[in-house]
Amino acid sequence: MSALDPLALAGARPKGKRPYFLENRDAERLMTIVMALAQEVAVMRERMDTIERLLERNQTLTRADIERFTPTKAEAQERGAWTQEFLARILRILQQEQEALTAADASSEEIADELAKI
């Protein structure tokens, strides 16, 4: 057996000072954890999708079947489309802020005052 600890080594830092981007470091730490979790949700969803397809096909399955499973091109596209949908859902705030860049909407407070006058 190798003396290497794969889990510790997998997450090792690369040499080079790490840049931080968000105004608050805690926010960036949290975002990084959330995105790693998002990755694991996608992994679980793909596994569930594999199980469903195998059961539909064979009415039974083993863990080895899951490991061997290769989706057809059409199946892979359905799975890929799901991941794109998933990312669109979790990154919604970025989409809305992007849309707001060119919007000149008044705030609800302003509109309330305005509506009280007309």
Partner 1 sequence: MTASVKPAQNKAKAKKAEAKKTRAAKAKAAPPPQAYDGPPDYRVVGRHGMFPDITHDEAARFNFLAQMNRCLAAKVMPGVKAAFDAQVEPAFKKKHGRDFKDRHEVRQALMQDPTWRWWSALRRATMEQRQQAGRWITIRQADALNAKAANLTRDDARLTLDPKLALPRYVAAVDHHCMPGSYHTELVAGDVTGAANYDIGLFATTGGMLGAYNDGGGVAVARWVKQHLKGFKPKRILDIGCGLGHNVLPIAQAFPDAEVVAVDVGAPMLRYGLARAKSLGVDNVRFVQADVSDLSPFEDGSFDWIQSTMFLHETSYKSMQAIFRETQRLLRPGGIVLHVEQPQYDESMPLFEQAMRDWDAFYNNEPFWTKMHEVDLDDWMVKAGFKQQSLIHGGVAAVVDPNVFPEAAKDSTQEDYGRKAAWHVIGAAKEAA
Residues that bind partner 1 (CB under 8 A): 1-4, 6-7, 9-16, 18-23, 28, 31-32, 35-36, 38-39, 42-43, 46-47, 50, 66-67, 69-71, 73, 76-77, 79-81, 83-84, 87-88, 91, 94-95, 97-98, 101-102
* Closer residue to partner 1 in complex, CB, 43/106: 43
* Closer residue to partner 1 in complex, CB, 101/116: 101
What CA–CA distance (Å, rounded) separates 83 from 40? 12
What CA–CA distance (Å, rounded) separates 60 from 83? 26
- Least separation, in Å, of the C-beta of 56 and partner 1? 16
Q: Cα dihedral angle (76, 78, 82, 83), rounded to 10 degrees?
A: 20
Q: How many residues does the chain have?
A: 118
Write the CB contacts of 88 (distance below 8 Å, at least 6 apart in sequence): 95
- Least separation, in Å, of the C-beta of 91 and partner 1? 7
